[in-house]
Structure 1
Amino acid sequence: MSGAATATGAARIVAGIGFSSEATAEEIADLLQGCLHDAGIGAADVVAVPAFKSGAPIVGILPGLLGLDVDLIEDADMAAVADRCLSHSTAAKAATGHGSVAEACALAAAGPTAQLIGPRIASAHATCALAICREIP
């Protein structure tokens, strides 16, 4: 979403995505669409994924498949919002150092006034969480 749209009061929706090496782009696209549908939201403005996954081939596929920019979120930014996450997975914490990758990515990308729309939703190999920000981050 452009800064002009955000400045006019439109909410900015960020989809945070966490995924394992087994995830496919189609699985992530389906998960995102299901998450948006469940929340009653037509579309996200941007997708946020952890920077530690930047080398995964799927990260290069997502912009074209989803029609959205993909923001890479650094570990420190994810850690800074950990206390605002709604879900905490011991398996995710052991694997990544973060209890909820999708929620942390969504919150970090959406900005300091952002709120999660709900807890993350999981598929077999990925998670998705939506954050909303009504102010310019």
Structure 2
Amino acid sequence: MIVAGLGFSSAATVASLRAVFDTAAANHDVAALATVADKEGHSALTTFAEELSLPLHFVAAADLAGQRTLTCSNRSRATYGTGSVAEASALAAAGKHFGPGARLLSPRQISDDRLATCAIAIGGQT
């Protein structure tokens, strides 16, 4: 199964999330969304997940640090100990919920307004 991992600032809007998701998820049949647990309750995220009718998995911040990412944001590294919240969230959720050995299908994409990122991962046993 395929998971779209999201990273975003508190100022991100539904439009920010939609735009970056549409870019990253093109040609992928996404089954779930994932992000770091401290984003739970963010209104744009909740609305976006409801619009897509996809389950939303929240990943503990500690589980992001062990994920190997293809890209690196200094802010993500300083805050969460990983190069990309989007990539690490996608990997962690895909591995936990859809089989070990998760791998990225694409590195993170960044929204034009630079408020959101999205990466796509697949669980190891599909």
Q: TM-score surpassing 0.5?
A: yes
User: What's the offset of the Cα at 1:95?
Assistant: 4.1
Structure 2 partner of 1:7: none
Counterpart secondary structure, 2:106: coil
Percent identity between the aligned chains?
40
The alignment status of 1:89 with 2:90, answered yes or no, reads no
Residue 100 in structure 1 maps to residue 84 in structure 2: yes
TM-score, normalised by the number of residues in structure 2: 0.86
In 1, Cα distance between the equivalents of 2:84 and 2:106?
13
Change beyond 3 A, Cα 1:92–1:76: closer
CA displacement, residues 68-114 of structure 1 (integer Å, 9 cap, x when unaligned): 11100101211122xx2111111222344432100000000000311
Is 1:119–2:103 an aligned residue pair? no
| One-letter amino acid matched to 1:120 | R
> Structure 2: any 5+ residue segments left out of the alignment?
none
Q: Which of these two proteins has the greater Rg computed from alpha carbons? A: 1
Residue identity opposite 1:54 in structure 2 = E
Extract structure 1 runs of 4+ deviating beyond 6 A: none
Q: 1:25 aligns with which of 11, 14, 29?
A: 14
The structure richer in strand per residue is 2
Question: In structure 1, the residue corresponding to 2:44 is in which secondary structure?
Answer: helix
Q: Give the letter for the 2:125 counterpart.
A: E
Report the RMSD for the aligned CA atoms in angstroms: 1.6
Task: Look up the match of 2:40.
Answer: 54
Number of aligned residue pairs: 120
State how far apart, in whole Å, the 2-side matches of 1:91 and 1:19 are.
11
